[in-house]
Structure 1
Amino acid sequence: MRKPTSVSTLDALGRVRLSKHFFMRDMLHSEIAQFHGLMNVPDDPDLAIEVGERLCEELLEPIQERWGRINIRSAYRSRAVNALGNQMQSEGKAGYNCASNEANAAGHIWDMLDAKGCKGATACIVIPAYADAHPEEGGWQVLAEWVDTKLPYSSLFFFPKLWAVNVSWHELPERRVDSYAVPKGRWR
Protein backbone atom coordinates (compact mmCIF):
# COMPACT_ATOMS: atom_id res chain seq x y z
CA MET A 1 0.00 0.00 0.00
CA ARG A 2 1.25 3.48 -0.82
CA LYS A 3 1.25 6.50 1.48
CA PRO A 4 -2.23 8.04 1.35
CA THR A 5 -2.45 11.11 -0.88
CA SER A 6 -6.25 11.52 -1.05
CA VAL A 7 -9.30 11.10 1.13
CA SER A 8 -10.13 7.81 -0.58
CA THR A 9 -6.65 6.33 -0.02
CA LEU A 10 -6.63 7.55 3.59
CA ASP A 11 -10.08 6.00 4.03
CA ALA A 12 -8.75 2.71 2.64
CA LEU A 13 -5.84 2.77 5.09
CA GLY A 14 -8.17 3.57 7.98
CA ARG A 15 -10.37 0.59 7.12
CA VAL A 16 -7.50 -1.89 7.43
CA ARG A 17 -8.42 -4.22 10.27
CA LEU A 18 -5.48 -4.83 12.58
CA SER A 19 -7.28 -7.33 14.81
CA LYS A 20 -10.76 -8.36 15.94
CA HIS A 21 -11.57 -5.00 17.56
CA PHE A 22 -9.01 -2.53 16.18
CA PHE A 23 -8.65 -0.77 12.86
CA MET A 24 -5.81 1.39 11.58
CA ARG A 25 -8.17 4.38 11.85
CA ASP A 26 -8.14 3.90 15.67
CA MET A 27 -4.39 4.35 15.69
CA LEU A 28 -4.07 7.49 13.54
CA HIS A 29 -5.73 10.08 15.81
CA SER A 30 -3.34 12.66 17.24
CA GLU A 31 -4.24 15.82 19.13
CA ILE A 32 -0.90 17.30 18.07
CA ALA A 33 -1.64 16.63 14.39
CA GLN A 34 -5.22 17.82 14.70
CA PHE A 35 -4.34 21.04 16.53
CA HIS A 36 -1.43 21.91 14.22
CA GLY A 37 -3.10 20.80 10.97
CA LEU A 38 -0.66 17.97 10.21
CA MET A 39 -1.35 14.70 8.43
CA ASN A 40 -0.62 11.76 10.70
CA VAL A 41 -0.15 9.00 8.14
CA PRO A 42 2.66 6.50 7.63
CA ASP A 43 5.27 6.86 4.91
CA ASP A 44 5.38 3.04 4.83
CA PRO A 45 1.80 1.84 5.43
CA ASP A 46 2.72 -1.83 4.95
CA LEU A 47 5.25 -1.72 7.79
CA ALA A 48 2.84 0.23 10.01
CA ILE A 49 0.11 -2.33 9.34
CA GLU A 50 2.46 -5.25 10.02
CA VAL A 51 3.59 -4.00 13.42
CA GLY A 52 0.13 -2.66 14.25
CA GLU A 53 -1.28 -6.14 13.76
CA ARG A 54 1.30 -7.59 16.16
CA LEU A 55 0.61 -4.90 18.78
CA CYS A 56 -3.14 -5.37 18.53
CA GLU A 57 -3.29 -9.15 18.28
CA GLU A 58 -0.62 -10.00 20.84
CA LEU A 59 -1.18 -7.22 23.39
CA LEU A 60 -4.24 -5.01 23.01
CA GLU A 61 -6.78 -7.77 22.30
CA PRO A 62 -5.77 -9.90 25.33
CA ILE A 63 -5.70 -6.83 27.59
CA GLN A 64 -9.15 -5.77 26.41
CA GLU A 65 -10.52 -9.31 26.75
CA ARG A 66 -9.34 -9.51 30.38
CA TRP A 67 -9.78 -5.94 31.65
CA GLY A 68 -12.47 -4.32 29.49
CA ARG A 69 -12.73 -1.83 26.68
CA ILE A 70 -9.52 0.01 25.79
CA ASN A 71 -9.40 3.67 24.82
CA ILE A 72 -6.49 4.55 22.55
CA ARG A 73 -4.92 7.83 23.74
CA SER A 74 -2.04 7.90 21.27
CA ALA A 75 -0.64 5.24 18.99
CA TYR A 76 0.92 5.78 15.57
CA ARG A 77 2.80 9.06 15.02
CA SER A 78 4.29 10.21 11.74
CA ARG A 79 7.86 11.48 11.87
CA ALA A 80 6.60 15.05 11.36
CA VAL A 81 4.01 14.84 14.16
CA ASN A 82 6.47 13.25 16.57
CA ALA A 83 9.22 15.78 15.70
CA LEU A 84 6.85 18.68 16.39
CA GLY A 85 5.80 17.06 19.68
CA ASN A 86 9.45 16.65 20.63
CA GLN A 87 10.26 20.26 19.69
CA MET A 88 7.34 21.56 21.75
CA GLN A 89 8.31 19.27 24.65
CA SER A 90 11.84 20.69 24.50
CA GLU A 91 10.37 24.18 24.67
CA GLY A 92 8.47 23.21 27.83
CA LYS A 93 4.98 23.13 26.30
CA ALA A 94 2.54 21.12 28.42
CA GLY A 95 0.90 18.17 26.69
CA TYR A 96 3.67 17.53 24.15
CA ASN A 97 5.21 14.43 25.66
CA CYS A 98 7.19 13.18 22.67
CA ALA A 99 10.73 11.83 22.69
CA SER A 100 12.99 12.33 19.65
CA ASN A 101 12.22 10.53 16.41
CA GLU A 102 15.24 8.29 16.99
CA ALA A 103 13.97 7.34 20.46
CA ASN A 104 10.43 6.75 19.14
CA ALA A 105 11.48 4.70 16.09
CA ALA A 106 9.81 1.27 16.37
CA GLY A 107 7.79 2.82 19.19
CA HIS A 108 5.19 5.48 18.41
CA ILE A 109 6.71 5.78 14.92
CA TRP A 110 5.61 2.39 13.67
CA ASP A 111 6.99 2.76 10.16
CA MET A 112 10.57 3.59 11.18
CA LEU A 113 13.05 0.89 12.19
CA ASP A 114 15.02 1.54 15.36
CA ALA A 115 18.82 1.97 15.52
CA LYS A 116 19.23 -1.84 15.55
CA GLY A 117 17.08 -2.23 12.43
CA CYS A 118 14.16 -3.71 14.39
CA LYS A 119 10.40 -3.25 14.12
CA GLY A 120 8.02 -2.22 16.87
CA ALA A 121 4.85 -0.36 17.79
CA THR A 122 3.49 1.48 20.83
CA ALA A 123 0.03 2.58 21.89
CA CYS A 124 -0.84 4.67 24.91
CA ILE A 125 -4.07 3.20 26.30
CA VAL A 126 -6.52 3.78 29.12
CA ILE A 127 -8.82 1.06 30.43
CA PRO A 128 -11.67 2.93 32.18
CA ALA A 129 -13.05 -0.12 34.01
CA TYR A 130 -9.57 -0.97 35.29
CA ALA A 131 -8.93 2.59 36.49
CA ASP A 132 -12.29 2.57 38.29
CA ALA A 133 -11.55 -0.79 39.95
CA HIS A 134 -8.01 0.15 41.05
CA PRO A 135 -7.98 3.87 41.95
CA GLU A 136 -5.65 3.37 44.93
CA GLU A 137 -2.08 4.64 44.90
CA GLY A 138 0.03 2.09 43.05
CA GLY A 139 -3.07 0.43 41.57
CA TRP A 140 -1.35 0.23 38.19
CA GLN A 141 0.85 -2.59 39.51
CA VAL A 142 -1.96 -5.18 39.27
CA LEU A 143 -2.15 -4.59 35.52
CA ALA A 144 1.65 -4.55 35.22
CA GLU A 145 1.88 -7.91 36.99
CA TRP A 146 -0.80 -9.46 34.76
CA VAL A 147 0.79 -8.25 31.52
CA ASP A 148 4.26 -9.25 32.73
CA THR A 149 3.18 -12.84 33.43
CA LYS A 150 0.80 -13.33 30.48
CA LEU A 151 1.86 -11.37 27.40
CA PRO A 152 4.84 -10.95 25.03
CA TYR A 153 5.24 -7.21 25.61
CA SER A 154 8.43 -5.23 25.16
CA SER A 155 7.79 -2.36 27.55
CA LEU A 156 5.10 -0.77 29.67
CA PHE A 157 5.26 2.83 30.90
CA PHE A 158 2.55 3.92 33.33
CA PHE A 159 1.24 7.46 33.89
CA PRO A 160 -0.72 8.80 36.89
CA LYS A 161 -3.93 9.87 35.13
CA LEU A 162 -6.32 6.90 34.91
CA TRP A 163 -3.30 4.56 34.84
CA ALA A 164 -2.68 5.37 31.20
CA VAL A 165 0.06 3.10 29.93
CA ASN A 166 2.32 2.96 26.89
CA VAL A 167 2.12 -0.65 25.75
CA SER A 168 4.88 -1.66 23.32
CA TRP A 169 5.42 -4.62 21.06
CA HIS A 170 8.94 -5.06 19.64
CA GLU A 171 10.59 -7.88 17.75
CA LEU A 172 13.41 -7.88 20.37
CA PRO A 173 11.39 -7.31 23.55
CA GLU A 174 13.02 -5.66 26.58
CA ARG A 175 10.34 -6.82 29.06
CA ARG A 176 10.68 -3.60 31.01
CA VAL A 177 8.12 -1.77 33.17
CA ASP A 178 8.53 1.85 34.27
CA SER A 179 6.20 4.36 35.89
CA TYR A 180 5.67 8.07 36.36
CA ALA A 181 2.94 7.04 38.83
CA VAL A 182 3.67 6.14 42.46
CA PRO A 183 5.79 4.14 43.01
CA LYS A 184 7.86 5.93 40.37
CA GLY A 185 10.76 4.53 38.38
CA ARG A 186 11.69 1.08 37.17
CA TRP A 187 9.38 -1.64 38.43
CA ARG A 188 11.23 -4.72 39.58
Structure 2
Amino acid sequence: MRSLKSVDGLEEFGRVRLSKSFFMRDFLFSDIAAVHGLLNVPNDPALAIAAGTKLCEELLEPLQDRFGRIAVRSAYRSEEVNALGNSLGQNCARNEANFAKHIWDRRDANGHMGATACIVIPAFYDAFSNDGDWKKLAWWIHDHLPYSEMFFFKKYWAFNLTWSECPKRTIHTWTEPQRVLTKPGMANNSFGHEADWAGIERLFRK
Protein backbone atom coordinates (compact mmCIF):
# COMPACT_ATOMS: atom_id res chain seq x y z
CA MET A 1 0.00 0.00 0.00
CA ARG A 2 1.27 3.49 -0.85
CA SER A 3 2.16 6.02 1.81
CA LEU A 4 -0.96 7.26 3.57
CA LYS A 5 0.49 10.76 3.51
CA SER A 6 -0.12 11.03 -0.23
CA VAL A 7 -3.51 11.63 -1.85
CA ASP A 8 -3.20 8.46 -3.92
CA GLY A 9 -2.25 6.42 -0.86
CA LEU A 10 -5.11 7.79 1.22
CA GLU A 11 -7.57 7.14 -1.61
CA GLU A 12 -6.35 3.56 -1.90
CA PHE A 13 -6.62 3.06 1.86
CA GLY A 14 -10.10 4.58 1.96
CA ARG A 15 -11.27 2.11 -0.69
CA VAL A 16 -10.45 -0.90 1.49
CA ARG A 17 -13.70 -2.77 1.96
CA LEU A 18 -14.18 -3.90 5.55
CA SER A 19 -17.52 -5.67 5.02
CA LYS A 20 -20.37 -5.81 2.54
CA SER A 21 -21.55 -2.27 3.41
CA PHE A 22 -18.59 -0.47 4.95
CA PHE A 23 -15.32 0.91 3.64
CA MET A 24 -12.39 2.29 5.58
CA ARG A 25 -13.20 5.80 4.40
CA ASP A 26 -16.47 5.66 6.36
CA PHE A 27 -14.48 5.68 9.62
CA LEU A 28 -11.69 8.21 8.99
CA PHE A 29 -13.42 11.57 9.39
CA SER A 30 -12.63 13.41 12.61
CA ASP A 31 -13.94 16.84 13.63
CA ILE A 32 -10.82 17.37 15.72
CA ALA A 33 -8.54 16.52 12.80
CA ALA A 34 -10.53 18.71 10.41
CA VAL A 35 -10.50 21.77 12.66
CA HIS A 36 -6.84 21.46 13.63
CA GLY A 37 -5.46 20.40 10.24
CA LEU A 38 -4.31 16.91 11.26
CA LEU A 39 -4.10 13.77 9.14
CA ASN A 40 -6.23 11.08 10.75
CA VAL A 41 -4.54 7.92 9.43
CA PRO A 42 -3.01 4.88 11.15
CA ASN A 43 0.66 4.10 11.66
CA ASP A 44 -0.21 0.41 11.26
CA PRO A 45 -2.76 0.22 8.41
CA ALA A 46 -2.88 -3.59 8.43
CA LEU A 47 -3.86 -3.74 12.11
CA ALA A 48 -6.47 -1.01 11.63
CA ILE A 49 -7.96 -2.94 8.71
CA ALA A 50 -8.01 -6.21 10.66
CA ALA A 51 -9.69 -4.65 13.71
CA GLY A 52 -12.11 -2.62 11.62
CA THR A 53 -13.12 -5.67 9.64
CA LYS A 54 -14.09 -7.50 12.82
CA LEU A 55 -16.06 -4.48 14.08
CA CYS A 56 -17.96 -4.24 10.81
CA GLU A 57 -18.58 -7.91 10.12
CA GLU A 58 -19.49 -9.02 13.64
CA LEU A 59 -21.29 -5.93 14.99
CA LEU A 60 -22.18 -3.20 12.50
CA GLU A 61 -23.49 -5.38 9.68
CA PRO A 62 -25.85 -7.42 11.89
CA LEU A 63 -27.13 -4.20 13.47
CA GLN A 64 -27.72 -2.58 10.10
CA ASP A 65 -29.41 -5.70 8.73
CA ARG A 66 -31.86 -5.66 11.65
CA PHE A 67 -32.50 -1.96 12.31
CA GLY A 68 -31.62 -0.08 9.13
CA ARG A 69 -28.88 2.32 8.13
CA ILE A 70 -26.14 3.09 10.64
CA ALA A 71 -24.73 6.64 10.82
CA VAL A 72 -21.10 6.78 11.95
CA ARG A 73 -20.45 9.73 14.28
CA SER A 74 -16.84 9.03 15.25
CA ALA A 75 -14.64 6.00 14.81
CA TYR A 76 -10.94 5.64 14.07
CA ARG A 77 -8.58 8.19 15.66
CA SER A 78 -4.85 8.38 15.20
CA GLU A 79 -2.76 8.66 18.34
CA GLU A 80 -2.03 12.31 17.48
CA VAL A 81 -5.69 13.18 16.98
CA ASN A 82 -6.83 11.35 20.12
CA ALA A 83 -4.11 12.93 22.26
CA LEU A 84 -5.12 16.40 21.10
CA GLY A 85 -8.78 15.63 21.78
CA ASN A 86 -7.88 14.49 25.28
CA SER A 87 -5.81 17.60 25.99
CA LEU A 88 -8.65 19.84 24.78
CA GLY A 89 -11.30 18.06 26.85
CA GLN A 90 -13.18 16.80 23.78
CA ASN A 91 -14.47 13.59 25.35
CA CYS A 92 -11.42 11.59 24.27
CA ALA A 93 -9.86 9.25 26.82
CA ARG A 94 -6.08 9.26 27.11
CA ASN A 95 -4.31 7.30 24.38
CA GLU A 96 -3.46 4.27 26.51
CA ALA A 97 -7.13 3.88 27.46
CA ASN A 98 -8.17 4.13 23.81
CA PHE A 99 -5.75 1.56 22.40
CA ALA A 100 -7.84 -1.15 20.69
CA LYS A 101 -10.85 1.16 20.98
CA HIS A 102 -10.90 4.40 18.97
CA ILE A 103 -7.20 3.87 18.20
CA TRP A 104 -7.62 0.79 16.03
CA ASP A 105 -3.96 0.45 15.07
CA ARG A 106 -2.66 -0.20 18.59
CA ARG A 107 -3.30 -3.29 20.69
CA ASP A 108 -4.37 -2.85 24.31
CA ALA A 109 -2.09 -3.41 27.30
CA ASN A 110 -2.83 -7.15 27.18
CA GLY A 111 -2.02 -7.44 23.48
CA HIS A 112 -5.60 -7.68 22.27
CA MET A 113 -6.87 -6.19 19.01
CA GLY A 114 -10.03 -4.08 19.04
CA ALA A 115 -11.97 -1.24 17.47
CA THR A 116 -14.70 1.24 18.46
CA ALA A 117 -17.19 3.29 16.48
CA CYS A 118 -19.66 5.83 17.83
CA ILE A 119 -22.86 5.26 15.90
CA VAL A 120 -26.49 6.30 15.65
CA ILE A 121 -29.30 4.13 14.29
CA PRO A 122 -31.80 6.76 13.06
CA ALA A 123 -34.74 4.39 12.52
CA PHE A 124 -34.40 3.01 16.03
CA TYR A 125 -34.34 6.47 17.61
CA ASP A 126 -37.34 7.58 15.55
CA ALA A 127 -39.30 4.60 16.85
CA PHE A 128 -37.99 4.60 20.43
CA SER A 129 -37.07 8.06 21.68
CA ASN A 130 -38.67 8.01 25.12
CA ASP A 131 -36.60 8.08 28.30
CA GLY A 132 -34.90 4.76 28.84
CA ASP A 133 -35.67 3.37 25.38
CA TRP A 134 -31.95 3.03 24.64
CA LYS A 135 -31.98 0.03 26.97
CA LYS A 136 -34.10 -1.92 24.49
CA LEU A 137 -31.31 -1.67 21.93
CA ALA A 138 -28.59 -2.27 24.51
CA TRP A 139 -30.17 -5.50 25.72
CA TRP A 140 -30.84 -6.72 22.17
CA ILE A 141 -27.17 -6.28 21.33
CA HIS A 142 -26.18 -7.89 24.62
CA ASP A 143 -28.24 -11.00 23.81
CA HIS A 144 -27.36 -11.28 20.12
CA LEU A 145 -23.92 -9.90 19.27
CA PRO A 146 -20.31 -10.50 20.44
CA TYR A 147 -19.68 -6.94 21.61
CA SER A 148 -17.13 -5.90 24.20
CA GLU A 149 -18.36 -2.51 25.44
CA MET A 150 -21.24 -0.11 24.83
CA PHE A 151 -21.47 3.47 26.10
CA PHE A 152 -24.74 5.30 25.44
CA PHE A 153 -25.23 9.07 25.14
CA LYS A 154 -28.37 11.22 25.25
CA LYS A 155 -28.42 12.70 21.73
CA TYR A 156 -30.22 10.31 19.34
CA TRP A 157 -29.11 7.40 21.59
CA ALA A 158 -25.66 7.61 20.00
CA PHE A 159 -23.35 5.01 21.49
CA ASN A 160 -19.79 3.77 21.39
CA LEU A 161 -19.75 0.16 20.27
CA THR A 162 -16.54 -1.80 20.76
CA TRP A 163 -15.39 -5.12 19.34
CA SER A 164 -12.44 -6.83 21.06
CA GLU A 165 -10.56 -10.10 20.89
CA CYS A 166 -11.22 -10.30 24.64
CA PRO A 167 -14.76 -8.96 25.12
CA LYS A 168 -15.69 -7.36 28.45
CA ARG A 169 -19.49 -7.28 27.95
CA THR A 170 -20.09 -4.03 29.80
CA ILE A 171 -22.75 -1.38 29.16
CA HIS A 172 -22.38 2.18 30.45
CA THR A 173 -24.47 5.29 29.91
CA TRP A 174 -24.48 9.05 30.35
CA THR A 175 -28.28 9.14 30.07
CA GLU A 176 -29.04 8.30 33.71
CA PRO A 177 -27.50 8.77 37.18
CA GLN A 178 -26.78 5.03 37.34
CA ARG A 179 -23.87 4.84 34.91
CA VAL A 180 -23.52 1.05 34.68
CA LEU A 181 -26.32 -1.03 33.16
CA THR A 182 -24.37 -4.28 33.31
CA LYS A 183 -20.88 -5.68 33.71
CA PRO A 184 -19.43 -9.09 34.57
CA GLY A 185 -20.37 -10.05 38.11
CA MET A 186 -23.79 -8.40 37.99
CA ALA A 187 -26.79 -10.73 38.02
CA ASN A 188 -28.13 -9.25 34.77
CA ASN A 189 -24.94 -9.94 32.77
CA SER A 190 -26.20 -13.30 31.54
CA PHE A 191 -28.26 -13.76 28.38
CA GLY A 192 -32.06 -13.76 28.29
CA HIS A 193 -33.42 -10.21 28.21
CA GLU A 194 -36.15 -10.83 25.67
CA ALA A 195 -38.74 -9.12 27.85
CA ASP A 196 -36.74 -5.89 27.48
CA TRP A 197 -36.34 -5.94 23.69
CA ALA A 198 -39.29 -7.96 22.34
CA GLY A 199 -41.05 -4.82 21.12
CA ILE A 200 -38.23 -3.82 18.83
CA GLU A 201 -38.12 -7.27 17.28
CA ARG A 202 -41.77 -6.94 16.28
CA LEU A 203 -41.32 -3.47 14.81
CA PHE A 204 -38.20 -4.30 12.81
CA ARG A 205 -39.00 -7.92 11.89
CA LYS A 206 -38.03 -8.73 8.31
TM-score by length of 1: 0.95
In structure 2, the partner of 1:92 is none
Q: d(CA) in 2 for partners of 1:157 and 1:164?
A: 8
1:133 to 1:183, Cα distance in 2 relative to 1, 3 A: farther
One-letter code of the match for 2:105? D
In structure 2, the partner of 1:152 is 146
1:84-137 C-alpha deviation (Å, 9 max, x unpaired): 000001xxxxxx110000000000000011111111000000011111111100
CA contact (8 A) 1:3 1:45 kept: no
Report percent identity of matched pairs.
58
Aligned length: 182
Gapped runs of 5+ residues in structure 2?
183-206
Pairwise mapping of residues 33-112 of structure 1 onto structure 2 (< 5 A)?
A: 33-89=33-89, 96-112=90-106
Gapped runs of 5+ residues in structure 1?
90-95
Q: d(CA) in 2 for partners of 1:108 and 1:50?
A: 14
SS of the residue aligned with 1:51?
helix
One-letter code of the match for 1:134? F
State yes or no: 1:119 paired with 2:124: no
In structure 2, the partner of 1:93 is none
Which structure: larger Rg?
A: 2
1:155 to 1:77, Cα distance in 2 relative to 1, 3 A: same
Q: d(CA) in 2 for partners of 1:57 and 1:6?
A: 28
CA contact (8 A) 2:2 2:8 kept: no
Q: Which runs of 4+ in 1 moved over 4 A?
A: none
Cα RMSD, aligned residues only: 1.0
1:108 to 1:3, Cα distance in 2 relative to 1, 3 A: farther
Q: Which gives a bigger RCO, structure 1 or 2 (Cα 8 Å, sep 6+)? A: 1
In structure 2, the partner of 1:11 is 11
